[in-house]
Amino acid sequence: MRWSTTLVLIPLLGLAAAKPVLDTRYSTFQTKHSWVQIPKGWEYHSTPPSDTLISLRLGLKQAKFEELLSHLYQVSDPTHARYGQHLSKTEVDALVQPNEETVNAVSDWLSYHGIDESAISASREWVTITVPLHLAETLLDTKYHVYSHAGSDERVLRTLSYSLPAHLHGHIDVVAPTTYFSTLKSMRATSFLQPEIPALSLKIDVDTAPAASDAVPAASCNTTITPQCLRTLYNTIDYEVTQADKNTLGVAGYLDEFANFADLKTFAQRFRPDATNATFQLEQISNGGNDQTDPGVEANLDIQYTIGMAFPTPNIYYSTGGSPPFNPDSQTPTNTNEPYLDWLNFVLAQDTLPQTFTTSYGDDEQTVPTDYAISVCNLLAQLGTRGSSVMFSSGDFGVGGGDCQTNDGQNKTQFQPAFPASCPFVTTVGGTTRVNPEIVADFSGGGFSNLFARPDYQADAVSGYLNALGDQFQGLFNKSGRAYPDVAAQGEGFQVVIGGRVGSVGGTSASSPTFAGIIALLNDFRLSKGLSSLGFLNPLLYSNPDVFNDIVSGSNPGCGTDGFSAALNPGWDPVTGLGTPDFKKLQAVV
């Protein structure tokens, strides 16, 4: 069966009016995911009318995902003959397309419940159906309610558990929206204002501004960070971009954060005078906004420092939106309001992609349902296979914020890894501070995933640290999990123009765009040599640890502990990863 790629709503009256012949396959349910309690920060609000429309997104099993991973590691391994030979969109689509058995099984299930083909929209491995709530509850053997988030005005339509007929578990990886509660306003940006650090004036002081010829950053860079500080510290100051017509850097934005064009111009005039004509392309996804009267700290930080590092490389800012607070209305389908899926499905549908991406948002890993996290992580793998390098900030809560108690009903204290930082197919960036030498920024998120196994590319580096750690923190983290961060960059005192004024901003949200800017320059360098973009970075980075500045002072406290120490073992650590980059050394290996 082939589904239409255009969604056409069928008349809802009588959608499932004819009672299907009883088929026990569709009444033998098996739980897909459930919570033992309402996720922290949320509370029951109301029960919506049963005829409320909901758009369910079904992630179908990808027929050849293991083959896709094989391609990913081959084209990302600098010792492999296929290094750099990334796949096209058409080639990736062929690998992730569900097989006929899966399509037919899901089609038969929907047909059994009276859902006509015209109510189905299909794109690659994703199928969307728009149905009344009571039918969604029948399909998933569940009950939906409206929940409200105490820290915002966000209200969402979610369920505490959902099930699928047992025989469909091998065909459907995830259904959304179901048990993933984090949304545009409840997820976390990994940046924060630092009013304790006096911001620089917009007036240029030639006596304190470091000269382009300086071999080391100025002393002022110990407290206030500018593009000049970073370009000097990480050795990009003399590099000239030549491939601006071929190379692009993408910034993912959420949380109703808007990058401001006027603030970018002011920032460039003060901190990157050769970039005063800099701008960026805007892509609005799922009703993403662009309110130029409401500049966002996170959005401005990201775009000002990707451009500050990689100018004149073109930048794209993706403003990913979602639905407003949920209001039951039987005539309006609910938005899934899950930004990772919205953003990833949008960019993967494009024929060409930016060679570099940075994202500065995340959640505690334990708040993300396993099926949802794996589906998102697998989509991120597709980006790498197609030749894009994807950076995520490691988070700003050390080894864990809050009470660090598990949400499985046992309330055990454990370190709390972050997601998508813990996905093995991204490059996760921790934070440092000060210069000559750099030390750990103590908020730098780092640790070990409870969900994803340790990938081979980091096995040796991580084993060395674990051997030095011994039994310390025994039982507080998963020693066999994917370890992060992979690398680090400065993360305190960034000078950002917000609403026409300079403010000091910190967080690994600053580190990720900084590192992404350096990768964009490396991609520019490779393209200038007639080579491909770098794509998925980690196999290359872990096989060349000497190109990084090892950070050997500091730790990332949290969960009532001092956290992991960067001084414990030379090389990789779960605070700053392999260390901070040296662009010229990286140039030599790429």
Phi first, then psi: what are they for 127, rounded to 5°?
-125, 130
Model pLDDT, residue 123: 81
Question: 158 pLDDT band (50/70/90 cuts)?
Answer: very high
Digit-coded pLDDT (tens) for 361-377:
888 999 999 999 999 99
Model pLDDT, residue 552: 98
507: in domain: yes
Model pLDDT, residue 151: 73
Percentage of the chain exceeding pLDDT 70: 90
pLDDT greater than 60 at residue 112:
yes
143: in domain: no
Question: 118 pLDDT band (50/70/90 cuts)?
Answer: confident
18 versus 567: the higher-pLDDT residue is: 567
Domain that holds residue 320: 189-324+339-366+387-403+421-589
Consult the annotation and say whether 573 binds a ligand: yes
Closest CA to 305 of 1, 10, 513, 35: 513
Cβ atoms of 487 and 579 within 8 Å: the answer is yes
pLDDT greater than 80 at residue 39:
yes
CATH number of residue 264's parent domain: 3.40.50.200
Average pLDDT over residues 172-183: 90
Model pLDDT, residue 189: 58
CA separation for the pair 383, 426 (Å, rounded): 9
Digit-coded pLDDT (tens) for 276-303:
999 999 999 988 889 999 999 999 999 9
* Count of structural domains, the chain: 1
392: in domain: yes
Reported as type and span, the H/E element at residue 518 is helix 508-528
Cβ atoms of 489 and 431 within 8 Å: the answer is yes
Digit-coded pLDDT (tens) for 519-530:
999 999 999 999
Cα 394 to chain centroid distance, Å, stands at: 10
**Mean residue pLDDT across the chain:** 91
Cα 429 to chain centroid distance, Å, stands at: 11
pLDDT greater than 80 at residue 256:
no
pLDDT greater than 60 at residue 213:
no
Annotated catalytic, 524? Answer: no
The region of weakest confidence among 53-57, 373-377, 461-465 is 53-57
Pair of tokens at residue 159: 């369920």
Strand 427-433 to 487-490 pairing: parallel
Model pLDDT, residue 206: 45
Model pLDDT, residue 155: 82
Beta-bridged to residue 481, according to DSSP, are: 453
308 Cβ contact partners less than 8 Å away, ≥ 6 residues apart: 226, 227, 230, 267, 268, 271, 272, 275, 517
Model pLDDT, residue 403: 87
Consult the annotation and say whether 238 binds a ligand: no
Interior angle at CA 161, CA 52 and CA 337, nearest 5? 50
Helix/strand/coil for 542 = helix
The region of weakest confidence among 27-36, 111-120, 266-275, 492-501 is 111-120
Which residue among the candidates 154, 302, 364, 396 is catalytic per the annotation?
Answer: 302
Model pLDDT, residue 214: 57
CA separation for the pair 357, 382 (Å, rounded): 13
CA separation for the pair 270, 419 (Å, rounded): 35
303: in domain: yes
92: in domain: no
Could you tell me how many residues make up the chain? Answer: 590
Digit-coded pLDDT (tens) for 376-401:
999 999 999 999 999 999 999 999 98
DSSP count for the chain of H helices, then E strands = 13, 27
302 versus 55: the higher-pLDDT residue is: 302
Model pLDDT, residue 544: 98
Which residue among the candidates 154, 298, 363, 365 is catalytic per the annotation?
Answer: 298
pLDDT greater than 60 at residue 3:
no
Digit-coded pLDDT (tens) for 538-553:
999 999 999 999 999 9
pLDDT greater than 90 at residue 1:
no
Helix/strand/coil for 582 = coil
Average pLDDT over residues 244-252: 98
Consult the annotation and say whether 535 binds a ligand: no
331 versus 550: the higher-pLDDT residue is: 550
Beta-bridged to residue 128, according to DSSP, are: 57, 121
Average pLDDT over residues 47-61: 93
Annotated catalytic, 360? Answer: no
Average pLDDT over residues 131-156: 90
95 versus 6: the higher-pLDDT residue is: 95
319: in domain: yes
Average pLDDT over residues 132-160: 90
Annotated catalytic, 118? Answer: no
Contacts of the segment 278-284: beta carbons below 8 A, 24+ positions apart: 278/307, 278/311, 278/312, 280/251, 280/307, 280/314, 280/315, 280/316, 280/317, 281/314, 281/315, 281/316, 281/317, 282/316, 282/317, 282/319, 283/316, 283/317, 283/318, 283/319, 283/346, 284/319, 284/321
Consult the annotation and say whether 550 binds a ligand: yes
345 versus 152: the higher-pLDDT residue is: 345
Question: 156 pLDDT band (50/70/90 cuts)?
Answer: confident
Model pLDDT, residue 23: 83
Which residue among the candidates 509, 512, 533, 555 is catalytic per the annotation?
Answer: 509
284: in domain: yes
Q: Is 94 exposed, middle or buried (0-12, 13-18, 19+ CB in 10 A)?
A: middle
Closest CA to 421 of 458, 442, 443, 390: 390
CA separation for the pair 523, 525 (Å, rounded): 5
Helix/strand/coil for 9 = coil
548: in domain: yes
Question: 205 pLDDT band (50/70/90 cuts)?
Answer: low
Q: Which residue has the tokens 């984090």?
A: 182
Average pLDDT over residues 263-284: 97
